Structure 1
Amino acid sequence: MIKKLLAFLMILSLLGSSMLALADDAKTVYTSDFTKDEDGWYGRGAMSFHTADGTLKTVGRQSAWNSPGRDFPLIEGGKYDLSVEVKQDDLDSANFMISIAHTIGGAETYENLAHGTAKKGEWTTLTGSYTAGDFSRYVLYVETTGADTLDFEIRNFTVTAPEGEPEPKPTEPPMVIEEAGEVPSLKEIYADSFDFGSAAPQMVFRDPKWLNLMKTQFSILTPENEMKPDSVLDVNGSRKLLKETGDETAVAVHFDAAKALLRFAQQNGIKVHGHVLVWHSQTPEAFFHEGYDTKKPYVKRDVMLGRLENYIKGVFEFLDENYPGVVVSWDVLNEAIDDGSNWLRNSNWRKIIGDDFPNYAYAYARKYAPEGTKLYYNDYNTAIPGKLNGIVKLLKSLIPEGNIDGYGFQMHHSATFPSIQQIKTAVETIADLGISLRVSELDVTVDNNSEASFKKQAHYYADVMKILIAHKDQFEAVQVWGLTDMMSWRGSQYPLLFDGNGNPKPAFWAVADPETYQ
């Protein structure tokens, strides 16, 4: 009997060692910590903020997808286990999901990864799994089903790779860089001409490697989403102000999602370009309705103008009080010209206020912006003749009032379109208006990551830079839209200067020295 017991114990011991070996392969990718701040989470169509109890609370929801979300640097082929605790205090029970929004080539798709039902006042754990597909961006979020306006809290959001994470796929063969000094700094190269910068995705603020790359290369940053209206406008807070004051024009704002970028810029002496105040997209629908309630009618023109002014005022007051001098310029208005009519698109702004809504937006921005803040109009497809005509028409209607400073070119191009001559014509046409210029969103796609494609891409970048350098007296900044190919919204087409490992591509060297690049 003793021998059998010893044998059994030996088997258990061997099994335990085997299980321990398997566990050693597992890697905890992320565990949330809401004790000090939002830990990189932001409200998707709602407001998310950390509480004194170390949880993340989401309020002001209007749709089931309104949720706390966070960008995660998942790796294609990686297997991930997900877990989160949720709690709600309003319904007898509510259904929750962990979901993912993944993006490739600019198209966002969704999957539901975990389901669970939370009873009133009880913490409930949701668990699920996900194998990462071929995407350039992954946003994990917690949403509800059938409880569109429910406030709720989350805690202990954990992502584990049970088999360990695979190595990221480089977008070109890795380059061995012995010393950081071998890679020149773009911000230093162009210091006498204009600021050189980048969009800064949320994930970079969790990795010292990417923070160092930004500090080394760029003198100005733009948040990808964290200062757009749906991240800044606090719908729930605005409802509370309305209830307290009876003022339909009262507006509350918050910058919870942008704090990581703003703090980083403030601490490192890097400028920030604000993006964006007024846009037809990514603006809470409730902002346009009576009582901040989408079930009620649109507000009248005078109320909408009041909300517009108070919103812009609140943005500038908050930034001036908390991050003085950090945000040096703004896209006041974004993508207002329709691609079909080549005039103002029929947005909520236009339907409620009228064709003069851009004039009011710039007048309010000028009224409340700190002295020296540059105010821009930003748009895409500037090199397309019809669109260019509409943009010029809008700029000419704004310039005489003295409230607009410049124009931002969104250059989301491919290595074959538009032509360099079209870009040159567009730049010269708008430069002739005598206003400041910037390239706000630059990337150049290619079909694959072959040597030939990267060489073609590099020559395109070099030709674009030559045009910009020729007008350097008017250009305030040139900003690529993203840090590395893996972080780009067009990541499957390898559009940026650095590959997925942070190595400089041929395009980097072309931008660094466009005149002599071969």
Structure 2
Amino acid sequence: MRISYILLSSILSSVFARPRINEYNGTCWSEEFNIPCCQNSDTLILRTTYDGIWGMENGEWCGIGNRNIRPIDDFPPSPPPIFDIETFDDPAAECDISDSITGDSLAKEAPFRFGVGLTGSYFYSSTTLSKTMRELIKYQFNSMTYTNLMKPSYVLDHEACIENAANGIEDVVLNFSGIVDGLDFAYKNGIHIRGHVLVWHAQTPDWFFKVGFDSENELVDPATFEYRLESYIKQYISFVQYNYPGVVDVWDVVNEAVEIENETLFDASTGWNTRVLTLDGNENLWYKILGPDYVIKSFRLARKYALPNVKLVYNDYNTFQTYPHDKTQAIINLLNILREEDLVDAVGMQSYLGVEWPSVKEYVRGFERFHEAGYEIQVTELTISAPSGDDWLEKQAKQYEEVFSKIIECVNEGYNISSVTVFGLQDGYRFYGSDSTKTRLFDHDLQKKPNYQAIMNILKENNGEVNNDEINNGDINNEIPNEIPNEQETSIIIDNENDDNEIIIEEDNAIEVITPEPNITEPILPEPTPYESIIPEISTIESVPSQGAVSNEISDSFIDPSYFTCDEQDWKCKYEKSCLCIVQVTKCFVSSRNDKEKCKQLSIECSKIWTL
């Protein structure tokens, strides 16, 4: 498998001894990210990122060395001023939420992180501008997801990018003014935010891909676009983790890159049905410029700049669907490729569920298959369509009860389900003049709906069973682990008058139409694509040509002397040389001809790059 030298630091770091950059001077550089420094002198390097070198002690990440290795002139800017919500006319001010912020709490009862979507398609309609809604979120949830405002089209600053281009600069410019209020609120109240989303074929402006950042111009060449992509991801991730450490600890790196509906829409040669076109015929410009590698390149950059305790996620809709092609298997194939380079931490199941389709059994089969493949699961945008009839509230409660019963059942069977996010706070969203949404857990007056109580009953029943078992075993542990945050804005329209029972999924500006196969209750799954046919042999790893090829055989001197030529304070040079050295260590370990003890010695020699 071809592995970029920059990323090998995150793959084989377990074989490295700790580099002793300098002696500790009594301060801990990684504490600014809410990550402690490693205490043991022999802690192994497990990951190298743009900001530092990382290991693990007692199952927790810790910083190695006595300094941040990011160049001193490359730190992100401070955030812009936040909005004074005291001057804002809260549309929910009249709501009496006393019952909703006392007693039961979803966050406290759930065995996973329980998140909520922040509705709003522009800043002044954002949920966190309401003091009343803030109080409800603080009490009921421990994670939030901007349904729109963190997407590329909302943070990329067009005018500033054009100004850069006029001065011959290809770096993008980001404007964070639309999200700093939510980030600040989350940081001050111990709430996590799911970073949604870095790369998506929708809601990314076309000028981002064009010469001069001008929509009228032609597409840029691949090298220029890769530069822009790195500039974008680097600035975005760095800004949030420096200014709001610990808040955004999960990113949806790539969204909806897998397609199965029509063979003209995807590239099947990749083994994971890479989206080429949207259903309305628009080109996926990420693919057009970089080909299918745009996904792995994006994950590589995210891993390079994200802190080690930040989880990277591939997110998609209908992750359970198996016809007309097997989408679940296609996603697993993609995840397997990413996992080979330690680039992905979880799969995001958006979970837009209709009244009739999918069945709960079909939906849960997606959980089963991702679990069998060894992946952490995050339910990122849970939205269940409201049934019709005067008794729709009771029917809806039953829907949520069935879904959460199965989710809890999976958790109790050992599935790693780290978060569930419901994708919106209230029916009839008060920031909008007219909103007919009926899928949320709180009504127009922010009162608990029957579906809220149905979920709570499942959670409390589960805790009662768990606590009884723990007491019987003499091991009482009332702490509930909260692992991760959640996701995005979509509506589902069920056309009951359509004989094909089409489900139209409208996610922001993108519309996907899914037509369930009629009269098929147990669709026959195609034979899964063999894993080996998708992942090339690791023996094809390539080092960087400009630095000279490294032989699989270990020379008497063990290591290329050029690796030790960096100036003492040239951390960028040392980072690059260290990554090259990892390539040599990789080849050493994968070759059957080499003595593994010599390979370990080589890894120790590589660590000395940082000390000279």
TM-score (norm 1): 0.63
User: Could you list the per-position Cα deviations for residues 18-54 of structure 1 after superposition, in whole angstroms to 9, with x for gaps in the alignment?
Assistant: xxxxxxxxxxxxxxxxx965679xxxxxxxxxxxxxx
Alpha carbons of structure 1 residues 267 and 493: separation in structure 2 relative to 1, 3 Å: closer
Cα distance, 1:455 vs. partner? 1.9
Give CA-to-partner distance per residue, 1:255-311, whole Å, 9 cap, x none: 111111111101111011100000001111110001111111101111111111111
Alignment counterpart, residue 309 of structure 2, candidates 358, 372, 376: 372
Question: Residue deviations 1:180-214, cap 9 Å, x none?
Answer: 57641000001xx2110101124432322211110
Summarize the Cα distance change of 1:366–1:422 in structure 2 as closer, same or farther, 3 Å threshold.
same
> Is 1:253 aligned to residue 174 of structure 2?
yes
Instruction: Return the match for 1:495 from 436, 439, 461.
Output: 439
Cα distance in 1 for residues equivalent to 2:428 and 2:437: 10
User: What is the rounded CA distance, in whole Å, between the counterparts of 1:390 and 1:368 in structure 2?
Assistant: 27
Cα offset, 1:509, TM superposition: 1.1
Task: Using the TM superposition, give the Cα deviation of residue 503 of structure 1 relative to its aligned residue in structure 2, in angstroms.
Answer: 1.1
Q: How does 1:351-362 map to 2 (within 5 A)?
A: 351-362=288-299
Q: Does 1:282 align with 2:203?
A: yes
Alpha carbon RMSD of aligned pairs, Å?
2.9
After superposition, where does 1:129-208 map in structure 2 within 5 Å? 179=99, 183-190=103-110, 193-201=111-119, 202-208=125-131
Q: How does 1:24-173 map to 2 (within 5 A)?
A: none
Q: 1:421 aligns with which of 358, 361, 364?
A: 361
What CA distance in whole angstroms lies between the structure 1 residues aligned with 2:337 and 2:393? 41
User: How has the CA–CA distance of structure 1 residues 449 and 328 changed in structure 2, closer, same or farther, with 3 Å as cutoff?
Assistant: farther
Does 2:243 align with 1:322? yes
Distance 1:406-1:227 versus aligned 2 partners, 3 A rule: same
2:414 equivalent to 1:484: no
> CA 1:316/1:516 → structure 2, altered by over 3 Å: closer, same or farther?
closer
Whole-Å separation in 1 of the counterparts to 2:335 and 2:90: 39
- Partner of residue 402, structure 1: 342
Which of 221, 228, 244 is matched with 1:300 structurally? 221
Cα displacement (A) at 1:431: 1.5
Look up the match of 2:513.
none
* Partner in structure 2 of residue 265 of structure 1: 186
C-alpha displacement of 1:492? 2.7
Between 1:481-490 and 1:360-369, the stretch displaced more is 481-490
Mapped partners of 1:240, 1:294: distance in 2: 15
Q: After the TM superposition, which residues 329-368 of structure 1 pair with which residues of structure 2 at under 5 Å, given as runs? A: 329-338=250-259, 339-341=261-263, 343-346=273-276, 347-368=284-305
> Letter of the aligned partner of 1:350 in structure 2?
Y
Would the aligned equivalents of 2:83 and 2:181 in 1 still touch at CA under 8 Å?
no
**Alignment match, 2:383:** 443
Q: Distance in 2 between matches of 1:315 and 1:515?
A: 36
- Structure 1 position 471, deviation (Å): 3.4
Paired residue type of 1:225: N
Given that residues 100 and 448 in structure 2 are in contact (C-alpha distance below 8 angstroms), is that contact kept between their aligned partners in structure 1?
Answer: no
Deviations 1:143-169 (A, max 9, x none): xxxxxxxxxxxxxxxxxxxxxx9x99x
CA 1:229–1:418: 2 relative to 1, 3 Å:
same
Provide the residue aligned with 1:460 in structure 2.
Answer: 399
How many equivalent residue pairs? 351
Counting strand residues as a fraction of each chain, which structure ranks higher? 1
Whole-Å separation in 1 of the counterparts to 2:440 and 2:331: 26
* Alpha-carbon offset, residue 71 of structure 1: 12
Structure 1 unmatched runs, 5+:
1-34, 41-69, 75-164, 169-175
- Superimposed CA distance per residue, residues 444-503 of structure 1 (whole angstroms, 9 cap, x where no aligned partner): 1123473x3222221221222122223335112100000011139995351111111111
Seen in structure 2, the aligned counterparts of structure 1 residues 275 and 71 have a Cα distance that, compared at 3 Å, is: farther
SS of 1:486's equivalent in the other structure is coil
Structure 2 counterpart of 1:321, one-letter code: Y
Distance 1:257 1:298 in 2: 28
**1:241, CA displacement in angstroms?**
2.7
State how far apart, in whole Å, the 2-side matches of 1:270 and 1:297 are. 42
Distance 1:441 1:367, change over 3 A: same
Counterpart of 1:382 (choices 313, 319, 330) is 319
Q: What's the CA shift for 1:242?
A: 3.1
Query: Aligned to 2:234, which of 288, 293, 313?
Result: 313
State the alpha-carbon separation in 1 of the partners of residues 236 and 401 from structure 2: 37
Structure 2: how far apart are the matches of 1:380 and 1:254? Answer: 28
Partner of 1:474: 416
Given that 1:225 and 1:231 are in contact with CA atoms closer than 8 Å, whether structure 2 keeps it comes out as yes
**Quick one: distance in 2 between partners of 1:252 and 1:182?**
43
2:531 matched residue in structure 1: none
Identity percentage over the alignment? 34
Question: Which residue, 450, 460, 465 being the options, matches 1:506?
Answer: 450
CA distance in 2, matches of 1:421, 1:444: 15
Runs of 4+ more than 4 Å apart: 35-40, 70-74, 176-183, 488-491
Distance 1:39 1:196 in 2: 28
Match of 1:512, SS state, is helix
Q: Is the 8 A contact 1:445 1:493 kept in 2?
A: no
Equivalent AA in structure 2 for residue 270 of structure 1: I
Counterpart Cα distance in 2 of 1:293 and 1:237 = 12
One-letter code aligned to 2:436: S
- Specify which structure has the bigger relative contact order, considering alpha-carbon pairs within 8 angstroms and separated by 6 or more residues: 2
Q: Is the contact between residue 72 and residue 203 of structure 1 (CA under 8 Å) also seen in structure 2?
A: no
Q: Residue 496 and residue 179 in structure 1: after superposition, are their counterparts in 2 closer, same or farther (change >3 A)?
A: closer
Distance 2:454 2:249 in 1: 28
Q: Is the 8 A contact 1:71 1:203 kept in 2?
A: no
CA contact (8 A) 2:428 2:437 kept: no
CA drift at 1:251: 1.5
Which secondary structure does the structure 1 equivalent of 2:351 belong to? strand
